[in-house]
Amino acid sequence: AQSVAQPEDQVNVAEGNPLTVKCTYSVSGNPYLFWYVQYPNRGLQFLLKYITGDNLVKGSYGFEAEFNKSQTSFHLKKPSALVSDSALYFCAAGGATNKLIFGTGTLLAVQP
């Protein structure tokens, strides 16, 4: 069965420090991987995706993610966190089926 794991419910980081939000996946076929961000009582905003090509994917707001096939991971990163980055982040994966499966979400808290 397809699944996405986000092992951390919450990540705390000081403003200006680098941040990492972890994600691992299990899908059939070649994976399609996505990161989304959600602010309170809002829908999800697309950040970035990996379909094929370079393993390092750059997205919106300075975020990037690295696809690691051997570790089945797609961790989200940013070199320097901002307080405004504080939100709920979802990793999602699709494979041979048309559906996207979402992880449980990681709350990112950036302290000033």
C-alpha distances in angstroms, 111 versus 34, 40, 84? Answer: 26, 18, 10
Token readout for 35 is 């990161």
Contacting other proteins (CB under 8 A), which of 11, 21, 27, 34? Answer: 34
Contact between 26 and other proteins by CB under 8 A: the answer reads: no
Residues 85, 88: Cα–Cα separation, whole Å: 9
Q: Do the bridges between strand 10-14 and strand 106-111 make them parallel or antiparallel, or are there none, so unpaired?
A: parallel
Please tell me whether residue 100 binds other proteins under the rule CB under 8 A: yes
Which residue lies nearer to other proteins by CB, 105 or 110? Answer: 105
Among 61, 83, 96, 99, binds other proteins (CB under 8 A): 99
Interface residues toward other proteins, by CB under 8 A: 32, 34, 36, 41-46, 49, 51, 90, 92, 94, 98-105
